[in-house]
Structure 1
Amino acid sequence: MAKTHAIRVFSIRVFGALGLSLAALLCWGSTGPQQSVRSVPVLHVENAIGPATSSYVVRELRKAAVAHSPFIVIEMNTPGGLDSSMREIIQEILRSSVPVVTYVSPSGGRAASAGAFILYASHVAAMAPGTNVGAATPVQIGGGSPFSSPTDKTERGKEGGKPKPNDASEAKSLNDAIAYIRSIAELRGRNVDFAEDSVRNAASLSAQAALDRGVIDVVARDRQDLLTQIHGRSVTVGNAQVKIDTRNLMLVDVNPNWLTRLLATITQPNIAIILMMIGIYGLLFELMNPGALLPGTVGVICLLAGFYALTVLPVDYAGVALLLLGIGLMTAEAFAPSFGILGIGGIVAFVLGGAIMIDTDVPQFQVAKPVLLVVALTGLTMTIVFARMALTARRRKVVSGWEHMIGASGTVLDWSQGKGHVFVHGERWQATGDDDPKVGTKVVITSLSGLVLRVGRDERAAIDPGAAPHIKET
């Protein structure tokens, strides 16, 4: 008994000691230094910068500020984009409470036009080897109607060999872009002269040349090299100096969600035009076949999606007015057939509106000529179909309505004192007439007043009493 008691006491002491040791280890672990892993969002700006891109970047920058991220990385490879979308992104970067690191990647990528502005505005500007930056001249200045280039050597010498804008509007756009990028370059302490040259003369630099000339801060082979090089770098965020710490960081790719990708697709002018055409014909088919539901539903959705694109894209109101006129004329052709006149006019108005609808010369946001050609051919085909249907209906014999009754033959069922009943098209009708036909006599309907027919003798048919159905007179 004593032996059993001793064993029990010994066991209690051993397990107690183990428990105390475990508790001490846990307490030491909780109070010891922690090596937590922080996450840094990586955004991806590719292709042309438009309303969907600016919405995506602005939203994620605000999320990073709320989450107190150490910094945020924008991986960029873009030919440029819309001025309004670019300015929205830059304004958000300038007021961001977290540092923004823009990294032009991968090799072969570029930060052209609007991309160059965004790169200049970032707290840290980095590029991968094999990339380039610049060519920030507004497209309407350097595009299809470029700077005037005088052929006279004397005249060219007077201008210093530099092109000049063709008119006051181009000069205004050029000077505005120059002042904007100079102010950004001065704010970030970057090469102001190249910033102006990239806008005025569409100058461009390789990654290493940009680093040598103070346009960017880092040339990094990959993400890991980027983190290594920017570690410990101090940047100005608002009015405070922030030191970037890249230790124990995990880069997390934040790709555009499905809604952003959908909006990016819808806001392409070519897609918007096609959606509007589908919407128009969907509604026309629904109105021509009430109750079908599917054409009307699809048509309304497509038309609203097309109009949404018009609200976020820079549009010319004259082009929008022509689009609406074209829609109205094509709709009128379906319900008031003019044998193609209204339809063709609607097609011309719609195509002209589509051609001048987008108020920018950025190639990625222009309506393609093949799309306009397809729209015109589709509209012409539908107009021909509607006109053919109208002509066919006009030539076809009337088969319903009061017009169908006039001239039809009937058989007298009963008659007395200038009125009676006749059998026409399988129906029994009240009738009046000047003659006094006998039962079974063939008569012809000459007019219709309400539900009463007026009949006369049918000289084309012989009297055939057996043709009438046998009805017992009362």
Structure 2
Amino acid sequence: MKRLFLGFIICLLLVAPFAGLSGPQVQAATDGSVFVIPVVNEIETGLTTSLRRAFALAAEERAQAIVLDIDTLGGRVDAAMEIGELIRTSQVPVIAYVQSKAISAGSYIALNAPHLAMAPGATIGAAEVRQSDGELPDPKVVAFWRAEMVAAAEHTGRDTKIVAGMVDRNLEIEGLKQQGELVSLSAEQALTYRLADGIFPDLTSALAHYGFESAELRVYKPSVSEKIGRFVTQPLVIPLLLLIGLMGLTWELIVPGKVLPGLIGAGSLALYFWGHMAAGFAGWESVILFLAGLVLMIAEIFVTGFGIVGALGVIALGAGVVLAAYDTAYGLKAMLFAIILSIVLGGVLFKYFGHLGMWKRIIHTERQEKASGYVPNRSFRHMMYQAGRTVTPLRPSGTAVFQGQRFDVVSEGEWIPVDTDVQIVLIEGTRIVVRRLASNVANQVIPMKEEE
């Protein structure tokens, strides 16, 4: 476990500086250039943070314009809405150039740009919102997303009915779509319905159309930390990292000394926190809470605290993970999923490998069997009220003889000398209690029953 903590801290310290010091890369140029920012692959929360930094850098460098080079099939609605707000409030003019696809959330981003250009063969639209399981969401969510898409079209002066048709299947647009279909436009159609300003074979031609033919291009390249942050903050990656991390902890606890699983678990947790720090969602307080939770949970194993210490550890550990996530509700769900699955898999590990670890030093597993020479305790209940004679003084324990057999006995508290007649008055398991006999009882012979 010490190696696990050390590995976690080392992994985090090695990569954490890059989360704050690894800045975005752009091609060197003079003021007044055009910033080209790629918007590719999935739209997620990490992309929002990266674009926010890019827009700030463009404003700082006094760029003439920002070009969003779009090629995406969509992604998270909430991330797209944040990017849309970023475009609307930008002090630098924004041009959306649809290189290939601007589908779903990508179409919302493109429609928020005051200027929209498309490449030959590019498409835009099909912005129906869906849940993570592929099912249609609540009608309220659909209505809200439709209103957002229409608001983006209104803001840039585009046809709101066509844009609404990208979201609403029930809307019928004569000559373009029938009821039950979604609007998805080719570059020529987008130009015909005045959603796009023109069709251009390349970005240079598009910039010439807007009067930036002589401007120098500066291509924004996300830093390594931003790329990792985008990967780590994806909804499917978060529970996977947590599961691997907790399983590494479980393996180290059950079978200590196996360095590789512990280091993998520590590295997975370090990557989770570092990625969220790089994306701007987490701070060191989340890491401190997580480490404090681990310490308290381990302390619960060795310290008697009626479960209070362990409960505090679980709360602190969960709080660290949830606070680091971009969405606390999703972070809580991911953490609960990882904990439950870790408990199940940990039970399997304990069943088959628990005998190899620390538990063999804590739990007594040796069995007393007849084959090893162990015999069950004899019952002395049949000797009740038998008389015998002490062969050693009872002070108050000693030895007495009954029917020729020696037994360890104890008096009721009095001191009884050797060669004194006694009678058994109480038997508790293997404990035989005797009392001094009167002289008339000493001569009585009480036959011994056969042992059951």
TM-score range, shorter chain: 0.5 to 0.7
Q: Is residue 111–residue 153 contact of structure 2 (8 Å, CA) maintained in 1?
A: yes
Q: Label 1:221 to 1:389 Cα distance change in 2 as closer, same or farther (>3 A).
A: closer
Compute the TM-score of the two structures, normalised by the length of structure 2: 0.54
The answer as to 2:162 corresponding to 1:194 is yes
Match of 1:179 among 128, 147, 151: 147
- The aligned residue for residue 425 of structure 1 is none
Counterpart secondary structure, 2:62? coil
Q: Label 1:96 to 1:209 Cα distance change in 2 as closer, same or farther (>3 A).
A: same
Match of 2:96 among 88, 96, 102: 102
State the alpha-carbon separation in 1 of the partners of residues 209 and 86 from structure 2.
25
Q: CA offset at residue 311 of structure 1?
A: 11
- The aligned residue for residue 250 of structure 2 is 284
Compute the TM-score of the two structures, normalised by the length of structure 1: 0.51
Unaligned residue ranges in structure 2 (runs of 5+): 1-29, 170-181, 280-292, 303-324, 328-332, 369-373, 376-391, 400-452
State the alpha-carbon separation in 1 of the partners of residues 398 and 258 from structure 2.
49
Q: CA offset at residue 287 of structure 1?
A: 3.2
Counterpart secondary structure, 1:216? coil
Q: Label 1:171 to 1:222 Cα distance change in 2 as closer, same or farther (>3 A).
A: same
State the alpha-carbon separation in 2 of the partners of residues 309 and 257 from structure 1.
12
- The aligned residue for residue 266 of structure 1 is 232
Counterpart secondary structure, 1:69? coil
State the alpha-carbon separation in 2 of the partners of residues 123 and 38 from structure 1.
19
- The aligned residue for residue 37 of structure 2 is 43
- The aligned residue for residue 386 of structure 1 is 350
Letter in 1 for 2:166: S
Q: CA offset at residue 385 of structure 1?
A: 3.3
Q: Is residue 47–residue 77 contact of structure 1 (8 Å, CA) maintained in 2?
A: yes
- The aligned residue for residue 72 of structure 2 is 78
The answer as to 2:200 corresponding to 1:220 is yes
State the alpha-carbon separation in 1 of the partners of residues 263 and 355 from structure 2.
30
Q: Label 1:269 to 1:312 Cα distance change in 2 as closer, same or farther (>3 A).
A: farther
Q: Label 1:271 to 1:180 Cα distance change in 2 as closer, same or farther (>3 A).
A: closer
Q: Is residue 42–residue 75 contact of structure 2 (8 Å, CA) maintained in 1?
A: yes
Q: Is residue 80–residue 113 contact of structure 1 (8 Å, CA) maintained in 2?
A: yes
Q: CA offset at residue 304 of structure 1?
A: 5.7
Q: Is residue 97–residue 119 contact of structure 2 (8 Å, CA) maintained in 1?
A: yes
Q: Is residue 37–residue 250 contact of structure 1 (8 Å, CA) maintained in 2?
A: no
- The aligned residue for residue 126 of structure 2 is 135
Q: CA offset at residue 80 of structure 1?
A: 1.0
Q: CA offset at residue 87 of structure 1?
A: 1.1
Counterpart secondary structure, 1:190? coil
Q: Is residue 273–residue 306 contact of structure 1 (8 Å, CA) maintained in 2?
A: no
Q: Is residue 182–residue 196 contact of structure 1 (8 Å, CA) maintained in 2?
A: yes
Q: CA offset at residue 144 of structure 1?
A: 4.2
Q: Which has the higher contact order (CA 8 A, sep 6+)?
A: 2
Q: CA offset at residue 391 of structure 1?
A: 7.6
Letter in 1 for 2:157: G
Match of 1:203 among 180, 183, 203: 183
Aligned length: 290
The answer as to 2:57 corresponding to 1:63 is yes
Counterpart secondary structure, 1:183? helix
- The aligned residue for residue 388 of structure 2 is none
Unaligned residue ranges in structure 1 (runs of 5+): 1-35, 147-168, 232-245, 314-326, 337-356, 360-365, 400-405, 408-417, 419-432, 436-474
Between the aligned residues of both structures, percent identity stands at: 27
- The aligned residue for residue 121 of structure 1 is 112
State the alpha-carbon separation in 2 of the partners of residues 282 and 65 from structure 1.
45
RMSD: 4.8
State the alpha-carbon separation in 1 of the partners of residues 254 and 34 from structure 2.
56
Letter in 2 for 1:99: P
- The aligned residue for residue 472 of structure 1 is none
Q: CA offset at residue 298 of structure 1?
A: 4.7
- The aligned residue for residue 446 of structure 1 is none
